[in-house]
Structure 1
Amino acid sequence: MTWLSSLIKFMVEIGAVLITFQALRQLHLERFFRQEQPSWPLFMVLISVAIGYGCAQFCISFFETLYQMMNTIR
């Protein structure tokens, strides 16, 4: 694996986490809870990392498989 592919994977993962964090902030999930918990920001970050990383890995795996399929057809 080259340094360029590693950099691209890292950027995709960071981008997916940031997009997930922004999406969760727009949902305003804190209004579903009675009290504002002091650990709420940490919970939001952890959930964003978990969902974002999973989505990024799916996208990376999908495009790697597609690339491999295109190489076998040639």
Structure 2
Amino acid sequence: MGDHQLEITEQDIRWSNDMTSGATQWKGLESFNETKQYFFIFINKASAHVIPKRSFETEAEAVRFAEQVRTYMKTAQHNT
């Protein structure tokens, strides 16, 4: 599948790989969930960005990532 890059900013979530790239504003996302090993940022009910927690150097980084995603999504929902 190749490397995938994911970047979150206050405005949107951006992704890219060898073949494509794109961005979605936070207000356009469906939901955010996590399991013991993965984070899921749902674009819609059937599609999600899947982020392995092992891709973070520390557990604290993973926790900060989740907190930031939740904050951005909550802020976007309140601003619509």
Note whether the superposition's TM-score is higher than 0.5.
no
The structure whose RCO (Cα within 8 Å, separation 6+) is larger is 1
- Per the shorter chain, which TM-score range? 0.3 to 0.5
TM-score of the superposed pair, with normalisation by structure 1: 0.40
TM-score of the superposed pair, with normalisation by structure 2: 0.38
Q: Which has the higher helix share?
A: 1
Higher Cα Rg, which structure = 1
